[in-house]
Amino acid sequence: MSRRVYIETYGCQMNLADTELLSGHLCRHGYQRTGDPGEADVILLNTCAVREHAEERVLGRLSALARFKRRRPEVRIGVAGCMAQHHRERLLERAPCLDFVVGPDAYRRLPELLGGDAFIDVRLDRRETYADIPPERESGVRAWIPVMRGCDKFCSFCIVPYVRGRERSVPLQAVLEHVRAAAAEGCREVVFLGQTVNAYRDGTATLATLLRATSQVEGIARIRFTSSHPADMTQDLIDAMAECPQVCPQVHLPVQSGSDRVLERMQRGYTVARYLELVDRLRRAIPGVALSTDIMVGFPGEDERDFSATCELLRTVRFDSAFLFQYSPREGARSFRWPETVLPEEKARRLREVIRLQEEISAEINQSLVGQATEVLVEGPARRPEGWLAGKNPQYKTVVFRYPRGAPGDLISVRVTEATAHTLVGVAEPATGRAGATGGAASRPVAPAGGFV
């Protein structure tokens, strides 16, 4: 009988994709996925180390899951992902129920290692891309496809380059194989993933090459990518977005701060002026493009003027949405050694302020969509109201709407009747053979294909 594995995922979309990879790999080695930790032989948490809070959640969850091991001592509990790589053997002291710790470059060996004793495998491998391992997908209509792993940017606050290792790209042909396989499984949308996905490179092929090649794949109606780094956003990539109708008008472009002084200390490699010029070029080339971002408040040395500059940037750009974070010192990252100059209550105040500001902007943008039509890729039933459907529009904005006949994978034109900061509500338009309005100037959007699970 096959052994059952239960996996929980924390962190970013890269981790979601890694869980699908782990799932596919383990299933081909005699395991079966279960959604119930109570019946699992192996319990695996695929973790994130980007902020302290993310790690605390995992430690809390591990002590709750330890009860399954007390009931059935043969159960094996493990930690995979970025927190595994960050803490290594120290994790065993903090979570005594653990049997194994496996880093992001050691997944290939996991089935074999699970056959033996307790283990820690956190070797980084600068060539590992898992290009040959087919994932077991969790989402029916959208395929998350990692096209690069690791990061070489070394922003001063960030742990990712240390836990994910050096940047490496999946060969172009292997990516296209994954795209074709996803289309054959019924996926209508692909999202290319990488920490700096627009730094993708295979010989002379770039992300622009990949977008153009993917738009030739039959069955794929929508193409997205995340996260883009402002310093790697080339004109050729913008041109490819503009010329391929399947590439959605949506870019997640983390800016972090609106102050040059802070950006320099963060070692981000661009200035506010350069960022604004990029936003301008994107908006001119791609009508109706949705822009989202990441902002961090309370970075060491950030004073009131720097913070005001960040608020000013939000007002100037008017992002459709943003992920907003308080700075969290990460051991190993360069800024860990710098004294924290912003008190916790002040960080919390700045965070509340940017959240309030961004909610206001997102709500205003969404309100302006009421009365317009937008194309929705149906994902399934809405959580509520009962009987409604939910999906995303080209700008990756959640749309819930009334329509009795839609099925996952359908593209349906929806007229927006109401809007909040996070959701559009609407009614399906009568079918005309093909779904109606797509991205374009008619529909401006929210929520990025990025973020956390």
- Site residues (vs ligand F3S, CB under 6 A): 11-12, 14-15, 48-50, 81-82, 159-160, 163-164
Is position 160 an interface residue for ligand SF4 (rule: CB under 6 A)?
A: yes
Tell me whether residue 11 or residue 78 sits nearer to ligand F3S (CB atom): 11
Residue closest to ligand F3S, measured at CB: 11
Annotate 107-120 with b (16+ C-beta within 10 A) or e (fewer). Answer: beebbebbeeeeeb
Tell me whether residue 12 or residue 437 sits nearer to ligand SAM (CB atom): 12
From the list ligand F3S, ligand SF4, ligand SAM, none, pick the one residue 49 interacts with, judged by a Cβ distance below 5 to 8 Å according to partner type. ligand F3S
Stretch that binds ligand SAM, among 320-328, 395-403, 407-415, 433-441 (CB under 6 A): 320-328
Tell me whether residue 102 or residue 382 sits nearer to ligand F3S (CB atom): 102
Smallest gap from Cβ 262 to ligand SAM, in A, equals: 12
Is position 196 an interface residue for ligand SF4 (rule: CB under 6 A)?
A: yes
Measuring CA to CA, how many Å separate 348 from each of 25, 32, 35, 161, 428? 42, 43, 36, 27, 41
Between CA 322 and CA 365 the distance in angstroms is 13
Q: Checking phi first, is residue 324 left (phi over 0); if not, alpha (psi -120 to 50) or beta?
A: beta
Is position 195 an interface residue for ligand SF4 (rule: CB under 6 A)?
A: yes
Tell me whether residue 29 or residue 57 sits nearer to ligand F3S (CB atom): 57
Compute the Cα dihedral for 191, 197, 202, 204 and give only its sign.
Answer: positive
Which residues 6+ apart lie within 8 Å of 274 measured at CB? 230
Annotate 3-20 with b (16+ C-beta within 10 A) or e (fewer). Answer: bbbbbebbbbbbbbbbbb
Between CA 151 and CA 386 the distance in angstroms is 43
User: What are the structure tokens assigned to 66, written together?
Assistant: 């330890």
From the list ligand SAM, ligand F3S, ligand SF4, none, pick the one residue 327 interacts with, judged by a Cβ distance below 5 to 8 Å according to partner type. ligand SAM
Is position 327 an interface residue for ligand SAM (rule: CB under 6 A)?
A: yes
Parallel, antiparallel or unpaired: strands 201-202 and 205-206: antiparallel
Shortest CA distance to 113 belongs to which of 12, 237, 40, 25? 25
* DSSP H helices in 215-343: 235-243, 260-266, 272-285, 304-317
Stretch that binds ligand SAM, among 155-163, 345-353, 368-376, 430-438 (CB under 6 A): 155-163
Counting residues that bind ligand SAM (by CB under 6 A) gives 18
| Residue of 139, 246, 271, 328 interacting with ligand SAM (CB under 6 A) | 328
Query: Between the CA atoms of 205, 210, 212 and 215, what dihedral angle is there, to the nearest 10 degrees?
Result: 160
Between CA 379 and CA 139 the distance in angstroms is 9
Is position 229 an interface residue for ligand SF4 (rule: CB under 6 A)?
A: yes
Is position 335 an interface residue for ligand SF4 (rule: CB under 6 A)?
A: no
Smallest gap from Cβ 219 to ligand SF4, in A, equals: 32
Smallest gap from Cβ 84 to ligand SF4, in A, equals: 17
| DSSP helix/strand/coil, 402 | strand
| Residue of 104, 254, 391, 445 interacting with ligand SAM (CB under 6 A) | 254
Question: Torsions phi, psi of 56, nearest 5?
Answer: -60, -40
Tell me whether residue 256 or residue 393 sits nearer to ligand SF4 (CB atom): 256
Could you say which residues in the range 98-157 bind ligand SF4, by CB under 6 A? Answer: 151, 153-155
Tell me whether residue 288 or residue 450 sits nearer to ligand SF4 (CB atom): 450
Is position 49 an interface residue for ligand SAM (rule: CB under 6 A)?
A: no
Q: Which helix (H) or strand (E) holds 168?
A: strand 168-169
From the list ligand SAM, ligand SF4, ligand F3S, none, pick the one residue 154 interacts with, judged by a Cβ distance below 5 to 8 Å according to partner type. ligand SF4
Is position 161 an interface residue for ligand SF4 (rule: CB under 6 A)?
A: yes
User: What are the structure tokens assigned to 351, written together?
Assistant: 């965070």
Interface characters, 75-114, with ligand SAM (x: CB under 6 A): ----------------------------------------
Which residues 6+ apart lie within 8 Å of 93 measured at CB? none
List interacting residues with ligand SF4 (CB under 6 A). 151, 153-155, 158, 160-161, 195-196, 229
List interacting residues with ligand SAM (CB under 6 A). 12, 50-51, 157-158, 160, 195-196, 227, 229, 254, 256, 294, 296, 325, 327-328, 330
